[in-house]
Amino acid sequence: MTTPRRRDLANAIRFLAADAVQAANSGHPGMPMGMADMAQVLWGDFLSHNPGNPAWPNRDRFVLSNGHGSMLLYALLHLTGYDLPLDELKRFRQLHSRTAGHPEAHATPGVETTTGPLGQGLANAVGFALAEKLLAQRYNREGHAIVDHHTWVFLGDGCLMEGISHEACSLAGTLGLGKLIALYDDNNISIDGEVHGWFTDNTPQRFEAYGWQVIRNVDGHDPEEIGQAIRTAQAETARPTLICCKTTIGFGSPNKAGKESSHGAPLGKDELAATRQALNWPHPAFEIPADIYAGWDARAAGAAREADWSARFERYAAACPELAAEFSRRIRGELPADFLAHADAYIARLQAEGPTVASRKASQMAIESFAPRLPELIGGSADLAGSNLTLWKGSKSAAGDDADANYVYYGVREFGMSAIANGLALHGGFIPYDATFLVFSDYSRNALRMSALIPARAIHVFTHDSIGLGEDGPTHQPVEHLSSLRYIPGNSLWRPCDAVESAVAWKAAIQRADGPSVLVFSRQNLTHQHRTEEQVADIARGGYVLLDPPEARFDLILIGTGSEVELAMEAARRLDAQGVKARVVSMPNTNVFDAQPLEWREGVLPAWCRKRVAVEAGVTDFWRKYVGLDGAVIGIDSFGASAPADQLYQHFGITVERVVEAAKAL
């Protein structure tokens, strides 16, 4: 069997991609054809991975930020020996295939993160690289480098146009992420054509200004130049590296190479045939010669890499048993054995002590209690640490080389922050939490959506959750945000009413391993609510009965969340004085409540009781699902105003009086 040429190996990528797009009559052949030579050099000569175990902890992470070129990644995974058979490539973009239009981490072995929204893969990669840096600082010892891998990113012009690329790459330079290496597909083409009319940035100077090493003017079709650039990148350990590769989109296509026509549509049967002839690829669609498969097969080399690492880890475990056990536990995503008992004891103590504090303060109190037992917990805030109250006594900046570093000062980078947090979560070994004001969730919205879609074990903290923040005015006062975030599939949003519910929310978010949580906290103080032990346990169900009349018979139901629960409780007391018996339901998490068995939901909100009032300082439409068209909702369907909080609640009618009036009018 002859050793195939590099170009032939790269052509296997080109034609698997072009053939799959043609079969689907949908997709993006141009990028895989243009980046095939870069991919062959990286995956063939440098990438440290094991196709037999995509979860090997010390593998290099590869991120395809320009995810529309997904067939490049699928071809690489198939050719190198991952569990992605040829039949899956033939089913590209088809229902229930493992080759979706854009890479999906949950669906395809070897895909590290879900990409497609441009720039976010690059930001995820910053999170991967940061995770590697911090784990290495904590666990590596002299003679025992158990955490030692690179993060590689493929990206295109579109990724660099997106603002998130600035947010993430600026921070990556500041943090000195020397094992982050990005290869830029500089082909000057996007969907609308040649980019000279809308993208003329001096990209190399931009990245040099961030503190990156930049390698310019690499011929992206010359394996020797690519290989030398990668070696230069690996030699730089204090700065991330951008390798600028000049390429031709749709490389090899006689009539569509270098043109936008190859970007997002099949080449067409005639052009595909002409491309086969031009690149001297005589093989039918989806047929890969045995020598090409053999040239790509990375299974034996990957198994050897992992076996070598495993042997080194055994020696490390013998020398540092406690560190090795902690590292392994974190990588498995398991919580410390005593964490839940500790959390439950803390929650019980809070219920007994009954502090009246802002829920943002209650959040900080929970972090102070939980974080010392969770070295995997890594926090951060978008320049609002003192307002979000995300710092705790043991917080140490990730910007240095402290082995216990556990806090990222993200600066004013909400979108980049949440996307980086997704990368930290996906890497393994961390449970990240990030934070900003609730109204600024708009800035990070797509990263929050991606958290749920991936799904990523991330915790997104939002404070200043209503008009209750007061004088900052409507630009800073969230109105539609709670409902909007609840509507993200797979999201889990907690809006607690006091310190106890806040602690339960933190416990639930830390426990949740299959997706993100959103924790929403108030600026203003919230009254402690009295509960039995059973009621405390019921908080975790998302919605529960907080108050029933003594005789357990009620005429109507009041539903509240967060700061408005105390309004509902006071309204119930006033109604009782007028002979109207009300049940009060606290619903800190509608997502969790809706997932409860029918018996529980019916027990809390029985169908026979149609007289219902919901109160929340946000848009009202969301609550119709619980109160029906014949119920009432007290909320705000306009933007807020600048004034002290108590005046705003009166002005917008979110008051005990309004709740009582609405209840009596039913």
Beta-ladder partners of 462: 436, 520
Residue 455, preceding peptide bond in cis (omega within 30° of 0): yes
Indicate if 414 belongs to the active site. Answer: yes
What are the phi and psi torsion angles at 378 (to 5°)? -125, 125
What CA–CA distance (Å, rounded) separates 277 from 291? 20
Distance of CA 616 to the CA centre of its chain: 27
Residue 207 neighbours by CB distance under 10 Å: 25
CB 327 within 8 A of CB 146: yes
Task: Give how far Cα 565 sits from Cα of 125, 438, 540, 571, 583, Å.
Answer: 41, 19, 16, 10, 12
Cβ–Cβ < 8 Å for 434, 380: yes
Token code pair at residue 157: 């012009």
The answer to whether the peptide bond before residue 254 is cis (omega within 30 degrees of 0) is no
Q: At what angle are helices 163-175 and 203-210 packed, to 10 degrees?
A: 40
Tokens coding 109: 């072995």
Angle in degrees, CA 27, 29, 32, rounded to 5: 120
Q: Cβ distance 165 to 122 under 8 Å?
A: yes
DSSP structure string for 599-649 = HHHHHHS-TT---EEEE-SS-SGGGHHHH-TTSEEE---S---SS-HHHHH
CA distance 166 to 168: 6
Q: How far apart are CA 206 and CA 160, in angstroms?
A: 10
Q: How buried is residue 224: exposed, middle or buried, by Cβ count under 10 Å (0-12/13-18/19+)?
A: exposed
**Which residue among 225, 414, 501, 564 is the active-site one?**
414
Q: Is the dihedral of CA 643, 647, 649, 651 positive or negative?
A: negative
283 is written with which tokens? 């093989």
- Phi/psi at 612 (5° precision): -140, 140
Residue 480 and residue 618 in contact, taking contact as beta carbons nearer than 8 Å? yes
Residue where the block lists tokens 């609640």 = 649
Residue type for position 142: E
- The residue whose two tokens read 């495993």 is 310
Phi and psi angles of residue 284, each rounded to the nearest 5 degrees, phi first: -65, 170
- What are 463's two structure tokens? 């404070």
Please say whether the beta carbons of 439 and 478 come within 8 A: yes
SS3 318: helix
Instruction: Please answer whether residues 416 and 410 qualify as being in contact, where contact means their C-beta atoms are separated by less than 8 angstroms.
Output: yes
**432 sits in which H/E element:** strand 431-437
Active site residues: 414
